[in-house]
Amino acid sequence: MATATWNGTVIAQSDATVVVEGNHYFPADSLSREHFKSSTTHTTCSWKGVASYYDVVIGDAVNRDAAWFYPQPKDAAKNIKDYVAFWKGVKVTP
């Protein structure tokens, strides 16, 4: 089972992640939602589409834009629609 942790707290856990470009994408229902706050950040990937971001929040600590997802991915990435991946110090263990 893949687990995502930040600041010693489990923020996502699933045995159904999808690996794309070395990143584990977690199903939306595997996130501990109390640790996620919507961000206004968006970026564009040439083959996946427009990514949206979440800040990861543990207590008073905020890891800005540490999680991203594709709400409307291009056809080539439709298998990760609404799946969430991490960076910026979030540790993912397979």
CATH of the domain at 6: 2.170.150.40
Q: Taking a C-beta distance cutoff of 8 angstroms, is the pair 70, 51 a contact?
A: yes
DSSP annotation of 31 reads B
72 three-class SS = coil
Beta strands in the chain (DSSP E): 2-6, 9-14, 18-20, 23-25, 36-45, 49-58, 61-69, 84-86, 91-93
Domain count, the chain: 1
Chain segment 33-84, per-residue pLDDT in tens: 999 999 999 999 999 999 999 999 999 999 999 999 999 999 999 999 989 9
Which residue(s) pair with 85 in the sheet? 68
What pTM does this model have? 0.95
Domain that includes residue 60, residue range:
2-93
Confidence (pLDDT) at 20: 97
Indicate the pLDDT class of residue 10, thresholds 50, 70 and 90: very high
- At 38 the pLDDT is 98
